[in-house]
Structure 1
Amino acid sequence: MARRGCSENGVFIMKLRINEIIKNQKPKGEICAFKIHGQELPFEAVVLNKTSGEGRLRAKSPIDCELQKEYTFIIQAYDCGAGPRETAWKKSHKAVVHIQVKDVNEFAPAFKEPAYKAVVTEGKIYDSILQVEAVDEDCSPQYSQICNYEIVTTDVPFAIDRNGNIRNTEKLSYDKQHQYEILVTAYDCGQKPAAQDTLVQVDVKPVCKPGWQGGPAFVSPLRKGSWTWCMEAARPILKSA
């Protein structure tokens, strides 16, 4: 069996030599053809030197690893024969050819969601606020796996790990900033970045801080047209005589 690798979208696959194909039975005279046995295979074999039997196996059309990762087929060598028809040609034994298609990093990572949103409470450090996830359509592990995520937006109190988990690096304050919008990108293991960044929105929820005891206390507006209230049940304050 002859084993070869080829890159998808390539043309030249391998050189053929008559001594690689012929074992016990050798066609007499010059070699006029190599024939591939198989249906709808994207390969062809051409003779380069009739005397030496050297040929070339090449792709007839672009090879796509995402559609098919490998091919196995039979090839035979034919001599020029004595008659005008191919039926008079003598042929060699059959040889098995196995071709593995090498992936090209043609696809960029793509996020499963165009945007992500989370709500956190101020004053807390989270191990993970949310997780973003990207995928890649390439066929090989090297190019189809996501190896790294990165926060593109600078000067924000967040970090992201290689699994896409986002955490805050410091305690957040509602009074300082109500909302953060950060852009995140992903890299496959060939270091190709995502074609489009994803948007992550983190809303900061204030901690309830009543201003006086025994009734409702106004805190601060969350957004235009709505208000946040803290409610605390009235309770007696005992004083010693």
Structure 2
Amino acid sequence: MERQVLIISIFCLSYVVGQVSYSVPEEMAKGSLVGNIAQDLGLDVKRLRSGKARLYTGDSAQYIELNRERGVLLIKEKIDREVLCRQTTPCALHFQITLESPLELFPVTVEITDVNDNAPVFQKEERVFEISESAIVGSKFMLEKAIDTDIGLNGLQRYTLKPSDNFVLKLHSQSDGSKKVEMILQKPLDREKQEHISLVLTAEDGGEPQMTGTMKIYVTVLDVNDNAPAFSKPVYKASITENSVKGTLVTKVTASDADKGTNGEVTYVIGNSMDTVSKLFHINSDGDVMLDGPIDYETEKTYNIDIEAIDQGGLSDSSKLIIDVIDVNDNRPVVNMISASGSIPEDSARKTVIGLMSVNDPDSENNGKLNCVINENIPFEIKFTSNNFYSLVTDSDLDRERASEYNI
């Protein structure tokens, strides 16, 4: 069997120490001259042709091309420094020129310099603030930073704010080299004099020609909430019968606020929110106090309710509402026999007690007054003792032969 032998010849590559460097601005047109590489390397153009000179860029995109006939480097694709390097500086392309017969390699660096082709840009075109006229001098309001992808003097250099009657700018350097932008109140606001303020924030770079970006700022001056609601009375009094149905109007309370707009809008709440009273009464936005549950005079005769009036700014006033429950005659008298004798001797003395009882009616006044009577023509009478206690006593002599029992 014939054996084949693979012979690999390794040639030494001549690497020229030192490199050629060029500097070109970004955005040069396709075909623009970068440099005369043959002259700068000290080579004859014929050597470039015979050595099949070519560029080796590795994995990088090829923005530069070699013209072997002329011995020059040209722009192959327009270069955008911001896309290529972002904020990294310096921004450079590194590649090699290789020649054959003999093999030679020449490193080349092309630095891409920045041109002022990007203006500062704000993410939002406008910003809206609502600031109370009570805001103190020195109050801070954060503003959005502008972005400029150019570097150095072509990058963002300064901000201006106009007009500067009420506000000034203050910048703070940050670790990433950017500036934190604050708008500082330097003069008190007065809604009555100027309710709306329009400002323009401008970001400027330092390039030639100078480029700028703007953002509009609109400030609405809010009325200061310097007046609290005030009830028309410190104490309101009302009454309601105990058999009133749910939804019955108990009374109306009123509070006024001298402020205008939302600061003068008043809402009402019952302050006893954890008390059972909140389950029996509620108050609406007009100040109407309504019955919201069953009430019983015998359970509770008077309700003391704390009423609060609150404006939209959080200021408030309070008042007391006292509600008296009016009794109705909705309870029957109840007779409870405490003790009684089932029999009595016929020779018992007059006024002998044969029974003790209590009589109660939980209703009030006339509705609770009692008049206890027994049937007539019997030798007994009922006598009031004290505190709704009564006793049943004999009223005349008893004679068993005449009447052996009585149904009282």
TM-score tier, shorter chain, comes to 0.5 to 0.7
Match of 1:173? 399
Residue 165 of structure 1 deviates from its aligned partner by 2.2
Residue 142 of structure 1 deviates from its aligned partner by 5.1
Contact 2:253 2:289 in 1 (8 A): no
How do 1:7-156 residues align onto structure 2 when only pairs under 5 Å count? 7-11=241-245, 12-18=248-254, 21=255, 26=258, 28=260, 33-38=267-272, 39=274, 40=276, 41=278, 42-47=280-285, 55-78=287-310, 88=312, 92-113=316-337, 116-136=340-360, 138=362, 140=364, 143-144=367-368, 147-151=370-374, 153-156=375-378
Larger Rg: 2
Residue 111 of structure 1 deviates from its aligned partner by 2.0
Residue 60 of structure 1 deviates from its aligned partner by 0.3
Looking at structure 2, the residues matched to 140 and 27 of structure 1 have their Cα atoms a distance apart, in angstroms, of 48
Match of 2:60? none
SS at match of 1:167: strand
Contact 2:302 2:322 in 1 (8 A): yes
Match of 2:31? none
Code of the residue aligned with 2:294 in structure 1: it is P
Residue 14 of structure 1 deviates from its aligned partner by 3.1
Distance 1:101 1:128, change over 3 A: farther
Distance 1:27 1:6, change over 3 A: farther
Match of 2:380? 158
Residue 125 of structure 1 deviates from its aligned partner by 4.4
- By relative contact order (CA 8 Å, sep 6+), the higher-ranking structure is 1
Code of the residue aligned with 2:300 in structure 1: it is Q
Distance 1:128 1:109, change over 3 A: farther
SS at match of 2:371: strand
Code of the residue aligned with 2:392 in structure 1: it is I
Is there any run of 5+ residues in structure 1 with no aligned partner, and where? Answer: 49-54, 80-87, 183-241
Residue 118 of structure 1 deviates from its aligned partner by 4.4
Looking at structure 1, the residues matched to 266 and 237 of structure 2 have their Cα atoms a distance apart, in angstroms, of 23
Match of 2:236? 2
SS at match of 2:397: coil
Distance 1:159 1:135, change over 3 A: closer
Aligned length in residues:
162
- Give % identity: 22
